[in-house]
Amino acid sequence: MNRPESTPATMAARPAQLTMTADGKLSCAGAWTLDHLADLERQIAGLPKTLTGHINCDVGAIAAMDTGGAWLLQRTLSQFERSGCTLSIQGMSKDFGALMQTVAQGWAHTGQYQRSAPPSWLERLGQGAWRAADNLRKALTFIGEAATATAALLSRAQHMRWRVLLYNLQVDGLNGMPIIGLLSFLMGIVIAYQGSEQLKTFGANIFIVDLVGISLVREIAPLLTAILVAGRSGSAYTAQIGTMTVTEELDALRSLGISPMSLLVVPRAIALIIALPLLTVFADAVGVFGGMLIALSQLGVTFTEFLNRFEYAIVLRHYLIGIGKTPVFAGIIALVGCYQGFQVSGGVDSVGRHTTISVVQAIFLVIVTDAFFSILFSWWGL
Amino acid sequence: MTNAANTATAPAPIIEVAHIQTRFGAAVVHEDVSMTIDKGEVFAIAGGNGSGKSVLMREMILLQQPSAGEISIFGQNIRTMDQAAVSALRRRCGVLFQHGALFSSLNVAENVAVPLREHTKLSKQLIEELALLKIASTGFPMASVGKFPNELSGGMRRRAALARALALDPEILFLDEPTSGLDPISAAGFDELIQQLDEWFNLTIVIITHDLDSLWRIADRVAVLGGGKVLGIGTMNELSTSSDPLIHEYFHGPRGRAAKEQAWNRK
């Protein structure tokens, strides 16, 4: 039973041992400390399950003992007793005896702990339904509160937090330009490249303008920008407001008579509603420029030809439809981001969870709304 | 690992701090700090806010490097330790952080089980039993063991965190302001608990506090930090008769006198 140790011993040299002889003599030896307990536990599991008669337990050779070892010995001995054995213990030192007693007393207190059973599927279903309904109610309340706060602030412009609004305009709008520009540029290149292969075979080179122009301006640039902003700014809103909830900063604001809605939500929402259309215009321009470069290099369509055709092919309504959707997207992103921030409760893991929910929900809602717009516009024949 | 057999040995230094210097940029926290902590004693580090008590503790538990000077724990210099030695050392030290620092995604039982699961290969059942045992020994109400940290009161959180610090049967227990933010009754209860645990588990306890009641009650020796230096080390009785004006101010302010009287009355 003398197995090699699994962990390096830090103190006692001899590993713990438990040996049982046929005549019912149990001898314990070595260091009954945490390092050796795993080994000891296996040795105990190897003892016969049902023991009867008298057991003579000799603990004199135990060199060291900590609470873990004391508990294991205590547990093993009381198991023997429960199975109907009589025990006599020999060689227990004063210190170890005191430790064993402390452990036994401690264990007596743990009895009040009751492990809660995992809920049944019916209970989980009910809780899930209740939570969903509750979330819907909270979301509607939040939208209502945000709308009234916005209306109140717009009617009394001197109460608007202009600095916060301008700051968010800079952080969410201006600072997002490089990444949005780069990705939109690449998107223009990809679309033009894929299209040019097809158009070349028909000799319909000039229609690259229609392809790149309409797809980018009407659909791809607004959607791409909204998704990037949801990832960039929506998540930041949730994390920021959520952390403020955890650190009680929101409560501090309320107690100072500052409405978190008017300080944190309304300026962010308005800033994003201004910034997202502007970012989309920028994305349009950079994306089309990317398309122009490919049109020139792959299809020989010069910049002048491209722009002449562009003026004719891309009628104003495509552009307006593309831009017109973005304030709605911006509203969705800002509201979802802030709402999820307010839903944070408890600790730091909640911040992470709600940030994830915020980004996923915002992107999901943006795409659903975009699909809804597409259906609506095709009904109207736009 | 508390070795209950070695209680009667003569005091031996378990932590030695020699000429520590700590600076953050231009700010000097410790100019020259030295102290020796003996095995088995309850050693308190006192001092005003910003005197570098917590930084000193963070250096002792290897969370921060001093700018100069040496710290030895169990006779090993922590500067020259390799990764394995650091890991072994960490197993022998339990730390109670000021605000508990319980993992917010785990309930109390799971929090206390974390070090056991991480450092031992015990069965799930035994880990849970040992965790419950440690929780019971801190007087944490057993009915709340399934609760999450944010559902607990400050005092309960402190006890749960103490149970986690004790999970691996450490030889040294570091306590960072264990009674701050507790009401007087809870604070006194916590002091008693610390004494009780010291007796049960034969610990060396390093306690950072400016709670004068705690200092009178549980500290064997006290080091007072101030101005980047150790102003004085000794028992409370020695320090309270010290002629150093800063120490005198510290212990003989209105609150210091009241705490002393209380301590005497209790004795």
Q: Among A81-85, A204-208, A378-382, B38-42, whose mean pLDDT is lowest?
A: A81-85
How far apart are the CA of A199 and the nearest CA of chain B, in angstroms?
A: 56
Residue B139 lies in a domain: yes
Residue B131 lies in a domain: yes
More confident residue, A19 or A351: A351
On the question of pLDDT at B243 being above 60, the answer is yes
pLDDT of the residue at A45: 80
Contacts made by residues A217-221, CB under 8 angstroms, sequence distance 24+: A217/A284, A217/A288, A217/A314, A217/A318, A217/A319, A217/A322, A218/A318, A218/A319, A218/A321, A218/A322, A219/A322, A219/A370, A220/A187, A220/A191, A220/A287, A221/A184, A221/A187, A221/A280, A221/A283, A221/A284, A221/A287, A221/A322
How far apart are the CA of A191 and the nearest CA of chain B, in angstroms?
A: 45
- 8 Å CB contact between B196 and B34: no
Residue B230 lies in a domain: no
Whose tokens are 């709402």? That residue is A339
Name the residue facing B104 among A35, A67, A349 (closest C-beta). Answer: A349
Q: Determine whether the interchain pair A67/B122 forms a contact, defined as Cβ–Cβ distance below 8 Å.
A: no
Picking from B90, B126, B145, B162 by the largest number of A CB atoms within 10 A of its own CB, the best residue to mutate is B126
pLDDT in tens, A250-259: 888 888 888 8
Instruction: Tell me the mean pLDDT in the region B99-105.
Output: 83
Distance of CA A322 to the CA centre of its chain: 31
Reported pTM: 0.72
pLDDT of the residue at B154: 82
Q: Which residues contact A70 (CB under 8 A, 6 or more apart)?
A: A32, A96, A99, A100, A102, A103
* C-alpha distance across the termini of chain B, in Å: 33
**Using 50, 70 and 90 to split pLDDT, how confident is the model at B258?**
low
Residue B88 lies in a domain: no
- Beta bridge partners, A17, equal A29
Nearest to A72 by CA among A111, A100, A30, A101: A100
- 8 Å CB contact between A224 and A276: no
- Compute the distance between CA of residue A332 and CA of residue A230 in angstroms, rounded to an integer: 9
Task: For A218-249, give one letter per residue: b (16+ CB within 10 A) or e.
Answer: bbbbbbbbbbbbbbbbbbbbbbbbbbbbbeee
Bridge-based pairing state of the strands B27-38 and B13-24: antiparallel
pLDDT of the residue at B263: 65
**Using 50, 70 and 90 to split pLDDT, how confident is the model at B196?**
confident
Residue B67 lies in a domain: no
Instruction: Tell me the mean pLDDT in the region B136-146.
Output: 83
Instruction: State the Cα torsion B28-B34-B39-B40 to the nearest 10°.
Output: -60
Residue type, A274: I
Q: Which residues contact A201 (CB under 8 A, 6 or more apart)?
A: none
pLDDT of the residue at A345: 85
Q: Determine whether the interchain pair A10/B1 forms a contact, defined as Cβ–Cβ distance below 8 Å.
A: yes
Q: Determine whether the interchain pair A67/B142 forms a contact, defined as Cβ–Cβ distance below 8 Å.
A: no
Name the residue facing A71 among B105, B130, B150 (closest C-beta). Answer: B130
How far apart are the CA of A45 and the nearest CA of chain B, in angstroms?
A: 11
Contacts B91 to A, Cβ<8 Å: 10
pLDDT of the residue at A205: 86
| A97-106, A108-117, B52-61, B235-244, range with greatest mean pLDDT | B52-61
Work out the percent of chain A whose per-residue pLDDT is above 70.
94
Bridge-based pairing state of the strands B76-77 and B68-73: antiparallel
Instruction: Tell me the mean pLDDT in the region A143-149.
Output: 90
- Compute the distance between CA of residue B81 and CA of residue B77 in angstroms, rounded to an integer: 7
**Using 50, 70 and 90 to split pLDDT, how confident is the model at B1?**
very low
How far are the Cα atoms of B24, B239, B246, B258 from residue B243, in angstroms, in the given order? Answer: 31, 9, 9, 20
How far apart are the CA of A119 and the nearest CA of chain B, in angstroms?
A: 15
Counting one residue from chain A and one from chain B, the pairs whose CB atoms sit within 8 A come to 108
On the question of pLDDT at A276 being above 90, the answer is yes
Closest residue in B to A5 (Cα) is B121
* Tokens matching residue A276: 């997202």
Nearest to B187 by CA among B220, B161, B211: B211
* C-alpha distance across the termini of chain A, in Å: 84
Residue type, B175: L
Query: What residue ranges define each of the domains in chain A, with the CATH number in brackets?
Result: 17-111 (3.30.750.24), 132-379 (no CATH)
pLDDT in tens, A345-380: 877 888 999 999 999 999 999 999 999 999 999 998
- Compute the distance between CA of residue B23 and CA of residue B65 in angstroms, rounded to an integer: 10
Burial of A304 (0-12, 13-18, 19+ CB in 10 A): exposed
- 8 Å CB contact between A46 and A79: no
* Tokens matching residue B94: 């339990």
- Does residue B95 sit in helix, strand or coil? strand
Q: Which residues contact A4 (CB under 8 A, 6 or more apart)?
A: none
Quote the domain boundaries for residue B136. 104-165
How far apart are the CA of B111 and the nearest CA of chain A, in angstroms?
A: 14
Name the residue facing A64 among B3, B132, B145 (closest C-beta). Answer: B3
Closest residue in B to A41 (Cα) is B122
Contacts made by residues A80-83, CB under 8 angstroms, sequence distance 24+: A80/A51, A80/A55, A83/A50, A83/A51, A83/A52
Name the residue facing A116 among B146, B168, B169 (closest C-beta). Answer: B146
How far apart are the CA of B139 and the nearest CA of chain A, in angstroms?
A: 9
Instruction: Tell me the mean pLDDT in the region A71-100.
Output: 81
Range list of β-strands (E), chain A: 17-20, 25-32, 54-65, 86-90
Residue type, A3: R
Residue B30 lies in a domain: no
On the question of pLDDT at A68 being above 80, the answer is yes
- Does residue A122 sit in helix, strand or coil? helix
Instruction: Tell me the mean pLDDT in the region A207-220.
Output: 92
pLDDT of the residue at A221: 94
More confident residue, B198 or A210: A210
Closest residue in B to A103 (Cα) is B133
On the question of pLDDT at B2 being above 60, the answer is no
Helix spans in chain B (H) = 53-60, 83-91, 108-119, 124-137, 154-165, 184-201, 212-218, 236-240, 245-252, 254-266
Residue B142 lies in a domain: yes
* Tokens matching residue A229: 């902003």
Contacts A107 to B, Cβ<8 Å: 129, 132-133, 136
- Does residue A381 sit in helix, strand or coil? coil
**Using 50, 70 and 90 to split pLDDT, how confident is the model at A159?**
confident
Name the residue facing A112 among B121, B142, B201 (closest C-beta). Answer: B142
Burial of A333 (0-12, 13-18, 19+ CB in 10 A): buried
Picking from A34, A243, A348 by the largest number of B CB atoms within 10 A of its own CB, the best residue to mutate is A34
On the question of pLDDT at A11 being above 70, the answer is no
Q: Among A82-91, A224-233, B114-123, whose mean pLDDT is lowest?
A: A82-91
Contacts A112 to B, Cβ<8 Å: 141-143
- Tally the domains of chain B: 1
Name the residue facing A10 among B4, B88, B141 (closest C-beta). Answer: B88
Instruction: Name the strand (E) or helix (H) holding B222.
Output: strand B221-226
Q: Which residues of A touch B (CB under 8 A)?
A: 6-8, 10-12, 33-35, 37-38, 41, 63-68, 71-72, 75, 93, 95-96, 98-99, 102-103, 106-107, 109-116, 345-350
How far apart are the CA of B41 and the nearest CA of chain A, in angstroms?
A: 18
More confident residue, A307 or A118: A307
Name the residue facing A6 among B5, B121, B150 (closest C-beta). Answer: B121
| A81-90, A270-279, B117-126, B229-238, range with greatest mean pLDDT | A270-279
DSSP state of B99: T
pLDDT in tens, B76-95: 888 888 888 888 888 888 88
On the question of pLDDT at A128 being above 90, the answer is yes
How far apart are the CA of A19 and the nearest CA of chain B, in angstroms?
A: 20
pLDDT of the residue at A337: 95
Name the residue facing B137 among A11, A35, A106 (closest C-beta). Answer: A106
Number of Cβ within 10 Å of residue B37's Cβ equals 24
pLDDT of the residue at B262: 66
For helices A348-379 and A316-343, the axis angle rounded to 10 degrees is: 150
Mean pLDDT, chain B, as a whole number?
82
Residue type, A356: T
Name the residue facing B122 among A8, A41, A99 (closest C-beta). Answer: A41
On the question of pLDDT at A10 being above 70, the answer is no
Instruction: Name the strand (E) or helix (H) holding A276.
Output: helix A266-299
> For chain B, how big is the Rg over CA atoms in Å?
18
| A35-49, A181-195, B114-128, B210-224, range with greatest mean pLDDT | A181-195
- Compute the distance between CA of residue B93 and CA of residue B77 in angstroms, rounded to an integer: 15
Q: Determine whether the interchain pair A37/B4 forms a contact, defined as Cβ–Cβ distance below 8 Å.
A: no
Instruction: Tell me the mean pLDDT in the region A312-337.
Output: 92
Rounded to 5 degrees, φ, ψ at A22 are -65, -30
- Compute the distance between CA of residue B40 and CA of residue B91 in angstroms, rounded to an integer: 17
- 8 Å CB contact between A113 and B132: yes
pLDDT of the residue at B4: 44
Q: Determine whether the interchain pair A41/B123 forms a contact, defined as Cβ–Cβ distance below 8 Å.
A: yes
Residue B86 lies in a domain: no
Instruction: Tell me the mean pLDDT in the region A123-145.
Output: 92
